[in-house]
A and B are shown apart, each in its own frame.
Chain A
Amino acid sequence: AQRVTQPEKLLSVFKGAPVELKCNYSYSGSPELFWYVQYSRQRLQLLLRHISRESIKGFTADLNKGETSFHLKKPFAQEEDSAMYYCALKGGAQKLVFGQGTRLTINP
């Protein structure tokens, strides 16, 4: 089965504090993992993908196959980071599944 779990529905941190949004996955094959973000009144859009090993807007995510995790991290949160974040997994046959989402709120 192909499954993504985001254990936190809500996460609130203060500006300047570190942020970590958790994501765990279940997939028997080699996964392709993504983080998507939805800002207020905007379409859902890609934030980053594990294959690129990139840092976007200060966010990074490392694939840990041993722990089947793909947590999203940022060392210093900014107010504009407030949004809904979804972890996603693309498995076989182009099936793309998402987690339940985490609403991140950055307090001033």
Chain B
Amino acid sequence: SQTIHQWPATLVQPVGSPLSLECTVEGTSNPNLYWYRQAAGRGLQLLFYSVGIGQISSEVPQNLSASRPQDRQFILSSKKLLLSDSGFYLCAWSSDSLILEAFFGQGTRLTVV
């Protein structure tokens, strides 16, 4: 069966420090991968998505970047965190075949102090 792992679950980082959140998927190949930020009143904001290795689509210009070094690995990064980067980050995957649902990770609560 397919599973998605996202870590860490919580993270407290100082302003100006780098960030690396990792998401991996097991049990499937060539998944579509997504990074979202969930904020109260703003819903689920799509940040990045990827349909293949090295293919990244950026939706919102901001202080973050994403990379997909391997088929089932999706990384969210920042060189220097801002206070406004605080939030709840969700990784998700979906299959490229037919119209199948997206499966979400447990999320990472990032607090920038």
Q: Which residues of A are at the interface with B, using a C-beta cutoff of 8 A?
A: 6, 9, 32, 34, 36, 43-46, 49, 51, 86, 88, 90, 93-101
A9 to B34, CA, bound (A): 24
A9 interface neighbour in B41, B46, B57, B104, Cβ under 8 Å:
B41
B86 at the interface (CB under 8 A from A): no
B32–A43 CB distance below 8 A: no
Interface of B is mostly: strand
Inter-chain pairs besides A34-B101, A49-B101, A95-B59, 6 sampled, C-beta below 8 Å: A32-B99, A44-B104, A46-B101, A90-B94, A96-B46, A96-B102
A-B contact count (CB 8 A): 57
A34 to B102, CA, bound (A): 10
**A43-B105, A44-B90 known; A95 and B57 CB under 8 Å?**
yes
A98 to B34, CA, bound (A): 12
Distance in Å from the Cβ of A60 to the closest Cβ of chain B? 17
A94–B43 CB distance below 8 A: no
Instruction: Identify which of A6, A9, A51, A95 gathers the most chain B CB atoms within 10 Å of its CB.
Output: A95
